[in-house]
Structure 1
Amino acid sequence: MAILHEGAIPVRPRARAATLLFALIVTLIVAPAARAEVEHPRQQWLRDSTAGLFLHWGMFTAPRHLDCAAWERDVTEGGWTADYWVDEARKLGASYIVLATFHSRLGYARPWPSEIPGSCATKRDLLGELVTAGKAKDVRIILYMTDDPQWHNEQGVETLDSAAYSAYKGRQVDLTTRAGFGMYSYDLFFEVMEKYQDLAGFWIDNDNDYWEQNKLYEQIREKRPSWLLSNNNEDTPIMDTVSNEQKTGMTPAYDYPQAAWTPMPRLVEADYKLPTTGDWWYDGGNHPVDVRLSTGRYITNAGSSMKSLMAETPMVNGRFPPQQEAFNAFMSTWVPPIKESLQGTEGGGYMYGGMRPGFWNDGAHGVITVSRDGAKVQYVHVVTRPSTDMVRLRDNGYRVTRVSDLRTGEQMRFSQSGGHLSILGITRWDQYDTVFKVETADRQHFYDQSTLKATASSSREGHPATALVDGSFQDYWDSDAQLPVSVTLDLGRARKASYLAVNQREWSPTYARETFGRPEDSARIKDYRVYVSDDGKRWGAPVRAGALPSARGVQAIDLGEQHARYIKLEVLNTWAGPQAPRFVRQLQIDEIQVAHGYPLSPATPVPLEAERQQRSGAARLAPCAACSGGAQVTGLGGGSRNAITYREVTVAAAGDHRLQIDHTTAAATSLSVSVNGAAPIKAAVIGDNAAVPADTALSVPLRAGANTITVFSDAAKGPGVDRIAVAPLPPTSYVPKTTMTVDPSGLQWAGPGQQSLKVSATLRLDVEDALDQVELAPAVPAGWTVEGGPATAATMRLGQTLEGTWTLTSPPGQDVASADIPIRASFQVLGRPNTVTRQLRVRLRPADRVFMREAEDSRNQLGSAGITNCGPCSGGQKVRNLGGGPDAYVLFENVTVDTARQYTLYIDFTVNGERSYFVTVNGEPPIEVKVSGVGNNTPYTTSVPITLRAGANTIKVHNDTATAPDLDRLSLG
């Protein structure tokens, strides 16, 4: 396993120019063959599986052994058996085991008798026994192989025997170098292939140049064509599987696929620890397993066709600590009743069809799995249950014929209209995953893709707009980094159009997180506009304008009842910002489908539809295909005489509740709500199409039992009302997800005397919950002054931003004291106050420095390098993934000095082993700076003389051919 798991990035730069050249040649000459590895018959068993069991177990498993023979003795005397591991894997529903014993942090032990000296090898054939036991019970075994020699003496003893291997090879080989270790491990691959024909493949923890230069993978393919190859955190074409390692921080926490960056049909693993705390290997502790988190990951991964590679920590005798055994036992009874929804299925809402996964009604969240027969059978996995007794989700055009609870067999009431399936009257909820089996007749109301034509204002070569309607998710349209950009769909003649179903390419994470090893964000549509035209020339005003969520899976854009030949989707921007250079301004879309209607099953109405309530005055029924039940109530303007009255709004307990009103309007207006005859509560509502529902939520007091709610509008023309929904208020701890960026960010070093600092901040709302009374401003310490008032907004909706800029000035007549200055956004959600804060830290620069700046500072350009946390580092962060290619660098701009002369450049860094930086000043020839160290969390300092000119300079820290150390900060003496 890579050492800094959470800092790993999708594609690790190659370490040598020769490797870059080789990769380019392979891409140009054998691209079709490389692409063919994405889908291959040898992968079918893994595609049919749900999970694997990852076992880190070796010489340094607690209690660690420094002698290989002593470790093997204790393994055997402790009662190790291969059958135990295989049986525990089967309890988890795992189809395979990955054994990580030849691991850099576990003593490079080999659990098989080896004729190749160089590191620990057992006399007992533990690997062979495991392969045999697995074969007998249909559990395949994959062997982990590391590329990394850097931890060879971590425990104070040398675990790699260069002398013995040199004698074996008849030449001098240093196993502690990457080249020497690459040669040694290369030999081991071939030894394993000869000895264990029933092995299922190799799980490879990143690449070694020696392997690539000697075409190791190609030889494995030739020698063992049925074996799988998996590569950690890389998407290498020759590999079968991409493994995404230990991603955390998502919302909900279990939704691991939000961290994925590889589109289907690529085989993808989610590789994560089951123990909540502790190491990847047994460290002596009986660490807990978070059942909620672990089952949620298991289900949501299946909902994205990802395999759950669950890491457990066997002890020296092979047994798992008690809490892990208990979790395995739980899974052995929890999974079987829903097995048909997990094995032999695919994730729904993507290339295999299916309804839309993600966030649903009233706080619900879940995923879809689909059968492989055209999604005629779908499984709705409600991982987070709603706060009400119904689940309402986008149906993606599938006509539903029957819904049942998969665990109990109970047939469920349901309703379908306006593009949504509502499963009603749910009284039994599984604690971790309530699964509904949804049987469908067909997918309705979509035009055949072959009858459509697509053009775009910009396309990257090889990815034309025609890919949008070719019916294939293997091909996609690329905007060629142009924004705004538009796509025009030609229906062939004037036709009815109700909505667009958009499948964007799933090649980026769906949320920003800098601790992945670099800032990453979603390359998905944010703000958009849709136009229609009969002739493709005159477009008029947009029929829709809004924002799509940063979410995986199919997204629908309702159009109202349009009749036109041409539909133009204009994308104004995407969610990715400049902190994500790989994704910013990039847009890729697999398919856009056009629907001309919605499946309708009105026999069981959705509760609280407006058309079924009492109407007064001018309030009248009106058709609305996109509304629940296919109708709405209009004519509500002019005050309370024109109203809808709901007389049986029932809740179990008295108190404040969340009232959601689904309404339609082409322009901003207002609604008023009176509860049980009390004074009305007025709410502003927005919309952009009088035939497409939007929603507004507010807090209302309700009494236990039945309540009467009257809805009207004091505006001259009020909105139409589709339905209302009542649910408990979210917990007081709930804060809608936002992204706040501050420039400059992090720790700032100030010179002597009074200082002024220009600061800007941007708040973005990332979810569909509205914010009210928003204010964004710094809160400076006593004695500081602020020039510039707070930025404010009456309300914020999905994707909207609020920006402010201020000048902060320290107290006069003294040096800057240490100050932590919060940049704070305050707002209300459903009448409750909330805040989010980012800290701007200011410190006095040391007297012997004339310049100092953190590597992670927002004023620097990072290229494809990225930021990760580092507790001992200055500012608590550093830049990692430097080097290995020309795009992985840190560029310090505006390094300002008063005098042109030579300075000492101090470089604060962390490194494990020996590596080099190259420092380029003002574009002059680079200077190599060689450094060494032990441990990626131990900061070191080195220095190099550089010559600067008076005024602004640039300093670039890079290594275009090999991996560079992590960078903490630069300073000038």
Structure 2
Amino acid sequence: MRLRAALVLALIAALLTAPPALAEVVHPRQQWLRDATAGLFLHWGMFTAPRHLDCAAWERDVTGGGWSAGYWVDEARKLGASYIVLATFHSRLGYARPWPSAIPGSCATERDLLGELVAAGKEKGVRVLLYMTDDPQWHAEQGVETLDSVAYSAYKGQRVDLTTRAGFGMFSYDLFFEVMERYPDLAGFWIDNDNEYWEQHRLYEQIRERRPSWLLSNNNEDTPIMDTVSNEQKTGMTPPYDYPQAAWTPMPRLTEADYKLPTTGDWWYDGGDHPVDVRLSTGRFITNAGSSMKSLMAETPMVNGRFPPQQEAFNAFMSTWVPPISESLRATEGGGYMYGGLQPGFWNDGAHGVITVRRDDPDIQYVHVVTRPSTDHVRLRDNGYRVRRVSDLRTGRPLRFAQSGGHLTILGITAWDDYDTVFKVETAGRTGFLDGVTSTAPELVDGSFETFWDAGGRLPASVTLDLGRRERIAYLAVNQREWSPVYARESFGRPEDSARIKNYRVHVSDDGRHWGRPVRAAALPSARGVQIIDLGERHARYVKLEVLDTWAGPQAPRFHRQLRIDEIAVARAYPLSRGSLPLEAEHQRRSGGARVERCAACSGSAQVTGLSGGTLTYRDVTAPAAGEYRLRIDHTAAAPAPLSISVNGAAPTEVRVPGDNPDVPAATSLPVTLKAGANTIALTGAAGVDRIAIAPMPAAPGPPRTTMTVDPSGLQWVGPGRQTLNVSATLRLDDDEALDQVSLAPAAPAGWTVEGGPATAATLRLGQTLTGSWTITSPGEVSAADVPISASFRLLGRPGTVTRQLRVRPRPADRVFMREAEDSRNRIGDAGITSCAACSGGQKVRNLGGGPDAYVLFEDVTVPAAGSYTLFVDFTVNGERSYVVTVNDGTPVEVKVSGTGNNTPYTTTIPVTLRAGANTVKLHNDAAAAPDLDRISLG
């Protein structure tokens, strides 16, 4: 497999010298940024606290305060940043230009601050990119006009309104060319979204012609001509530092993670010395490097350019914390993806981390343990790499390790770094994989991550792999396309979800026609990086992977049922070392019919079976203190089977463990009470046992990773009198840790009634769902009520709940119909739902219009009689935009509206003619962006 790694590097080298057709994905001008780990993002301008409303006064205070370009460059280097993005021409910082501009229109300094920064950076090897915005909407946010349309109109010899997108586009277009002419040592532009004027006048193409070595980066969208896709302030993942979980652009696309270092306050200095969460910030820094993403860290310089004390302190910390592990971050790529490497993500006993791989020698990898396990070892999938040596990178201390069953276990770890314990793993390359495999989807076995198989929206979907002859088969290594987040979320008002495999089946065959029963039928986690499907020890020529469904739900149409896979590799065997793990079953006491059997996918390549007529006894399970512990049992079974566990001779605990293959271990965890010192654990039952592991119970486990949906969702407006609602809910488990005694049901408010009992499940495992339906009735005249719909369960013996609220409100007396735009009964196409504190229900639909697929379709708009009605549309907008309203597929009507700020709801009215009963109302605009939509009602 060393040859395969060399071929991957050769592919990347070829892409780096590729012709212009591939230039925007991989191009030589990008190489300096690909070699970088991080950048420093600086938001700074007229409205930096204390805000200045006069450009000259701001410049005087900048200079008088001792502003120094060298200080910024030195602070960037402390962070390990190779570049600075300067955001002064920012819509909410006064559109300040820190250079002497010949083009009137907004604040420009007499002192050439930009030129000084570019020169200072060049001297110390730190490049500078200039931020440019497309957005004029905040031109009067501070109560003064910051854009001078009169002066710019005189300069252009024509009337130009800079507060419009077209006028601002013309103004900023001129600035691009002024900067290109004046600052040849600039590294490029960091562009905050697009302006129609730029696109119409071929701005980007002209930048390419005039400054071919400059980079172009765009915020939050993947524009083909741009070099870099920047992902802004992603949150909501578990663990919270694992920023790449929310990324949606696959390698080798150059990507940034753009986030604030101060955990509170604005993107710019607002007068406060806000704290920097060291744990969160270092975790982001490391996990981004482990995904080949660049950390663009935003700090908030004061008017004089200096950073608040807590940010300076963080920079100083980074200047000493990073150097001892710098070899694991510089000239490396993220491991587990297209560059090879061990599997990143969630490991044993609460551990989590990423892998980095040396570019010059992919046989050297680094395991970054960002969240340490609760035990003294780390166990992760080896992805076929034969490990020769493991050492602690910070100390150089060699460490014991064991390798079998597809796992590498690093043992006896006593020294943990507070933020990132790094192990240097030296390998003998990737072994055991079959060459010459062909497929019904050739893209899966062509050795290129630039081509991929697309199922075309069809599920179930299957692919067949032809090994060329009958071979031994141990497992599949599947690299799915990294083009979606790993969990459901909203990003800038657009719904996102994981497009990765959930439930699958694997069949094998000797002739490609007769497949028999599946050898695996299970669920894959929604996770980034290579995923392993163990098959046991099989012999066949053909392997068929059948994908039954994916994780993405219908609320995210871009990802729903959209399966894409980059590569699948077939392995005949696992790497094996001489080291063994503690508590492996084959080394314990056996009685009755218990016996040791070979099991290639098991730890130590063996398991103990025959426990239906025998007993496996662990006689020396050591606990440091008496108390409750988490017992994990790795077991095998051809189907779900009973297993009995007795601790220290106590009455046994019966569990039903999952299984779909007697040669592939699965895991079940349960709480057990141990005494200090040696304990005895005895196991009997119909399953085989690979090994057990003991760990402290999680100190305070939060809610498990679940997705819960309620239909109808959102705020429900109902008419007068007694009302009945039909409600359904679904709970999906997204976590590897099983839930027990699961119950799902609404709780009726006082006076309300619920028809239908709770939906229940004895156990819920990864990817499984529980669904219930109920009829909820109000007591006589309806009044405002919140109906909680809750899932209760036990996790490792501890109770837990997950709750969603169904909010019910009586509609106003002058309305015959009212519904929120975000209601689940509507169809919203490619539009998205976002929070809006001032809106009814606290949400609205945004990203409406601009094409035929972004709309809100209200179905079942019910009225008591045919006739004329007034349609009330509640919306938010900044500037002037239009809806197109179509009722019952009739003639579309344009409705023009205007407003200030995008967080203030307005109302407009339209006369409509409706039929008795159900109608449809569609708000859309195929030609241009429409306002955001809060709700509609009829009067």
**TM-score tier after normalising by the smaller chain length:** over 0.9
Instruction: Note the alpha carbon deviations across 1:662-692, whole angstroms, 9 max, x for none.
Output: 0111022111111122221111111010100
> Does the residue aligned with 1:411 lie in a helix, a strand or coil?
coil
Which of 395, 398, 413 is the matching residue for 1:426?
413
User: Would the aligned equivalents of 1:515 and 1:867 in 2 still touch at CA under 8 Å?
Assistant: no
Q: Which structure 2 residue ranges, 5 or more long, are not aligned? A: 1-17
Q: Write the distance in 2 (CA, Å) between the matches of 1:922 and 1:308.
A: 50
Q: Per-residue deviation at 1:778? A: 0.4
1:927 Cα deviation from its structure 2 partner? 1.4
Q: 288, 296, 300: which is aligned to 1:301?
A: 288
The residue type equivalent to 2:327 in the other structure is: E
Q: 2:785 aligns with which of 819, 831, 834?
A: 819
Query: Which residue pairs with 2:478 in the alignment?
Result: 502
What residue is the counterpart of 2:503 in the other structure? 527
Q: Greater CA deviation, 790-799 or 614-623?
A: 614-623
Q: Distance in 2 between matches of 1:691 and 1:913?
A: 64
1:968 aligns with 2:911: no
1:34: how far off? 5.1
Residue type at the aligned position of 1:854: E
Q: For 1:876 and 1:194, locate their aligned partners in 2 and report how far apart those are by CA, in whole Å.
A: 48
Match of 1:952, SS state, is: strand
Alignment of 1:770-849 (within 5 A): 770-812=738-780, 814=781, 816-849=782-815
Residues in 2 aligned to 1:525 and 1:516: alpha-carbon distance in whole angstroms: 25
In structure 1, the residue matched to 2:50 is 63
SS of corresponding position for 2:226: coil
- The equivalent residue for 2:645 is 673
Moved more, 941-950 or 250-259: 941-950
AA aligned opposite 1:889: Y
Letter in 2 for 1:338: I
Other-structure match for 2:592: 617
What letter corresponds to residue 635 of structure 2 in structure 1?
A: H
Provide the C-alpha distance between the structure 2 equivalents of 1:906 and 1:119, rounded to a whole number of angstroms. 39
CA distance in 2, matches of 1:35, 1:789: 59
Of residues 439, 446, 452, the one that matches 1:454 is 439
* Residues 605-634 of structure 1 deviation map (CA, whole Å, 9 limit, x = unaligned): 111111111212221111110000111111
Per-residue CA deviation, residues 208-228 of structure 1 (Å, 9 max, x unaligned), is 011011100000001000000
Amino acid at match of 1:283: D
Write the distance in 2 (CA, Å) between the matches of 1:541 and 1:277: 56
The amino acid across from 2:777 in the alignment is T
Equivalent of residue 617 in structure 2, options 637, 645, 649: 645
Match of 2:719 among 748, 751, 760: 751
- What amino acid is aligned across from residue 627 of structure 1 in structure 2? C
SS at match of 2:496: coil
Instruction: Give the structure 2 partner of residue 706 of structure 1.
Output: 678
Kindly provide the CA deviation profile for residues 698-719 of structure 1, in whole angstroms up to 9, marking residues without a partner as x. 1100112221211222xxxx21
1:281 aligns with 2:257: no
Q: Which amino acid aligns with 1:708?
A: T
The one-letter amino acid paired with 1:689 is N
Asked whether the 8 Å contact 1:247–1:516 carries over to 2, the reply is no
The 8 Å contact of residues 860 and 891 in structure 1, kept in 2 or not, is answered as yes
What residue in structure 2 maps to residue 194 of structure 1? 181
Q: Is the 8 A contact 1:52 1:95 kept in 2?
A: yes
What TM-score does the superposition give when structure 1 sets the normalisation length? 0.94
Cα distance between partner residues in 2 of 1:297 and 1:958: 39
Report how far residue 730 of structure 1 moved: 1.3
What does residue range 870-885 of structure 1 map to in structure 2 within 5 Å?
A: 870-885=836-851
Whole-Å Cα distance in 2 between the matches of residues 191 and 46 of structure 1? 24
Deviation per CA, 1:245-292: give whole Å up to 9, x if none: 011110000010011000000000000011101000000011111111
Per the alignment, residue 903 of structure 2 pairs with: 937
- Correspondence for 1:87 among 74, 77, 84: 74
Q: For residue 683 of structure 1, what is the aligned residue in structure 2?
A: 655
* Distance in 1 (alpha carbons) for counterparts of 2:298 and 2:648: 55
Deviations 1:744-772 (A, max 9, x none): 00100000100100001000000111011
- How is 1:543-582 mapped onto 2 (pairs within 5 angstroms)? 543-582=519-558
- Measured in 1, the distance between the counterparts of 2:62 and 2:256 equals 30
The match for 2:59 is: 72
Task: Kindly report which structure 2 residues correspond to 1:373-452, keeping only aligned pairs within 5 A, or say none.
Answer: 373=360, 375-448=362-435, 451-452=436-437
1:737 match: 705
Match for 1:584 among 550, 556, 560? 560
Residue 519 of structure 1: how far off its partner (Å):
2.2
Given that 1:515 and 1:869 are in contact with CA atoms closer than 8 Å, whether structure 2 keeps it comes out as: no
- 1:172-321 aligned at under 5 Å gives the runs 172-321=159-308
Tell me, in whole angstroms, the C-alpha distance in 2 between the residues paired with 1:321 and 1:732: 34
Task: Report the alpha carbon displacement of residue 94 of structure 1 after superposing the two structures with TM.
Answer: 0.4
Question: Does the CA contact (< 8 Å) of 1:273 and 1:310 recur in 2?
Answer: yes
C-alpha separation in 2, matches of 1:776 and 1:668: 24
Residues 142-153 of structure 1: pairs in structure 2 closer than 5 A:
142-153=129-140
**Counterpart selection for 1:657 from 619, 622, 629:** 629
Query: 1:130-156 CA deviation, whole Å, 9 max, x = no partner?
Result: 000000110000000000111111111
The one-letter code sitting in structure 1 at the alignment partner of 2:152 is: Y
Partners of 1:76 and 1:317 within 8 A in 2 = yes
1:796-842 deviations in Å (ceiling 9; x for gaps): 11000000111111113x2x111000010001111111100000000
Deviates more, 1:622-631 or 1:896-905: 896-905
Identify which of 490, 508, 513 aligns with 2:489. 513
* Aligned residue type for 1:87: D
State the alpha-carbon separation in 2 of the partners of residues 703 and 910 from structure 1.
63
**Map of 2:826 onto structure 1:** 860
Note the C-alpha offset of 1:306. Answer: 0.3
* Pair 1:952 & 2:939 matched: no
The answer on 1:97 being equivalent to 2:73 is no
Preserved CA contact (<8 Å) 1:352 1:374:
no
**Which AA in structure 1 matches 2:437?**
L
> Residue 9 of structure 1 corresponds to which residue in structure 2?
none
Amino acid at match of 2:93: L
Deviation, structure 1 residue 936: 1.6
SS at structure 1 position matched to 2:495: coil
| Secondary structure at 1:160 match in 2 | coil
SS in 1 for 2:494: coil
SS at match of 1:514: strand
How many residues are paired up?
Answer: 922
CA RMSD of aligned residues (A): 1.1
Residue 4 of structure 2 corresponds to none
Which residue identity lines up with residue 524 of structure 2 in the other structure? Answer: L
Distance 1:32 1:336 in 2: 37
Helix, strand or coil at the partner of 1:182: helix
Q: Find the residue that maps to 2:822 and give its secondary structure.
A: coil
CA apart distance, 1:551: 0.4
Matches of 2:834 and 2:461, distance apart in 1:
33
Deviating above 6 A after TM superposition, structure 1's stretches of 4 or more consecutive aligned residues are: none
Shift of residue 515 of structure 1? 5.3
Q: Is the 8 A contact 1:34 1:237 kept in 2?
A: no
Distance 1:759 1:745 in 2: 9
Match of residue 852 from structure 2: 886
Give distance in 1, aligned partners of 2:289 and 2:229. Answer: 15
Residue from 868, 872, 876 that aligns with 1:910: 876
Whether 1:924 and 2:924 are equivalent positions in the alignment is no
In 2, the alpha carbon distance for the partners of 1:304 and 1:551 equals 13
> How far apart, in 2, do the equivalents of 1:519 and 1:765 lie?
20
- Write out aligned runs for 1:343-362 (5 A): 343-362=330-349
The offset of 1:514, in angstroms, is: 3.0
The residue aligned with 1:23 is none
Task: Report the residue type matching 1:252 in the other structure.
Answer: P
* CA 1:742–1:32: 2 relative to 1, 3 Å: farther
Contact 1:353 1:374 in 2 (8 A): no
